[in-house]
Structure 1
Amino acid sequence: MEGYSEKQLGILLVAERLFADKGFHGTSVRDIAQEADVNIAMISYYFGSKDKLLEAVFRYRMTATKAFIQDLVDNDTMGPLEKIYSLIDRYVNKMLNEQNFQCIMNREQMNREQSPVKDLIWELKREMMGLMEPIVTRAQEEGTFYKDVDVVLLMSSLFGTIHQVVPAKSYIRSSPEFADMPDDEFVEYLKVRVSAHLKKMFKAILTHEF
């Protein structure tokens, strides 16, 4: 991603994996330095602290998504339902490809202890909701989408469905029909299946068409 050197990005990705595996409090800067094959001073120089490193992981993962949504909002060549479908594909791909990050997100949101990124999570969610809302409200004003749509719950349905699919992957994978399917092929199959389900559901909610 633009703005990070190869070395910085390597540290970020190692930190993301360790935070997912061991939790924020269970991961030390020394652990990250050893795994990333750098010295502790380099991590301090680039990121300042473990708290700031976790914040950097979140900003790294969310910046591209915010830009993507803004581009959708500004796009005058796509219809509103097409934009919604594009958003669904984006999130399905993102959440199934970035499972370490999703693990951190889930853990930090459920963690009762004070976390350096709890406020950041909700700040980013509010920003994304603020970008998403105009796509729906403009289509409502034009009469394309029904007016009795709860955008907050609509987005919760999107995130919630994908969040449930990630831990259910092994259950779906256990079906005999997937026994000989390579893992990467199965993930691609799952993306298509989840995306098709969400698009059908969103179309029904937004347009009352099935």
Structure 2
Amino acid sequence: MEEYSEKQLSILKVAERLFADQGFHGTSVRDIAQEADVNIAMISYYFGSKDKLLETIFRFRMEASRKFINELLENDTLEPLDKIYSLIDRFINKMLGEQYFQCIMSREQLNSQQSPVRDLIWQLKGEMLGLMQPIVTNAQEAGIFHKDVDVEMLMTTLFGTIHQVIPAQHILKKSAPPEVISDEDYGAYIRNRVSTHLKKLFKAILTHEF
């Protein structure tokens, strides 16, 4: 896993926020430099260009997930369903905690123009699926999960559900219980709500138990 200095991480986080708020083309390197309190030459030195900076953001965010999934796959102490539950909680916490990045991800996926970043998204998503698939297929071969599971659709359900929750939170907040008052309370509430829903759904699909 590539290591980044504190200054590089600061630049990446500022760029991520500005790309989400203003769009990639609406954000200049000068904007990023001013917000990060660095000079433009430093950004060029670290990342080369604005395009490369965006690519680095994607690689930085996806690398931690790659490491987590590899460790989960190699873990022989967890049952297959517990591994799936760990994946669900991992991506709920990651995606809801990285909403600027998810905004950029959604925008770039819908971009009709060919771009290195869009290609990188699909490359990384394919890699994520390739890492996650053995968790299901190994359990299928062991007779733990049913054979009729479409793993690609299962992963699409996981990511799609969480993606939809992010912009729908102003609606979902209305159904939160009255004791959910602060933003911190709501964050814990919505994570638990999504986690409970997805775990019930995945258990039903994978084991036919409701």
TM range (shorter): over 0.9
Q: Do structure 1's residue 97 and structure 2's residue 97 form an aligned pair? A: yes
- Alpha carbons 1:173, 1:179 under 8 Å: kept: no
**Greater displacement, 87-96 / 109-118:** 109-118
**Closer/same/farther in 2, CA of residues 155 and 166 from structure 1, 3 Å limit:** same
Number of matched pairs? 210
Give the CA deviation at 1:28: 0.7
Structural mapping, 1:72-87, within 5 Å: 72-87=72-87
Q: What amino acid is the match of 1:96?
A: L
Q: Which amino acid aligns with 2:60?
A: Y
**Compared with structure 1, are the counterparts of its residues 30 and 178 closer, same or farther at alpha carbon in structure 2 (3 Å cutoff)?**
farther
* Aligned 8 A contact 2:180 2:189 in 1: no
| C-alpha spacing 1:153/1:42, structure 2 compared with 1 (3 Å) | same
Calculate the aligned-residue CA RMSD, in Å: 1.4
Q: Which residues in structure 2 correspond to 1:97-136 (within 5 Å)? A: 97-136=97-136
> In percent, how many aligned pairs have the same letter?
70
Q: In structure 2, what is the Cα distance between the partners aligned to 1:145 and 1:2?
A: 35
Structure 1: where are the runs of 5+ without partners? Answer: none
Cα 1:136–1:174, aligned 2, differ >3 Å: closer, same or farther?
A: same
Kindly provide the amino acid, as one letter, of the partner of residue 132 in structure 1. M
2:192 matched to which residue of 1? Answer: 192
Distance 1:179 1:19, change over 3 A: farther
Contact 2:10–2:36, Cα closer than 8 Å, also in 1? yes
> For residues 204 and 180 of structure 1, do their structure 2 counterparts lie closer, same or farther at Cα, with a shift above 3 Å needed?
closer
Show structure 2 runs of 5+ residues with no match: none
Shift of 1:185: 1.1
Name the structure 2 match of 1:11: 11
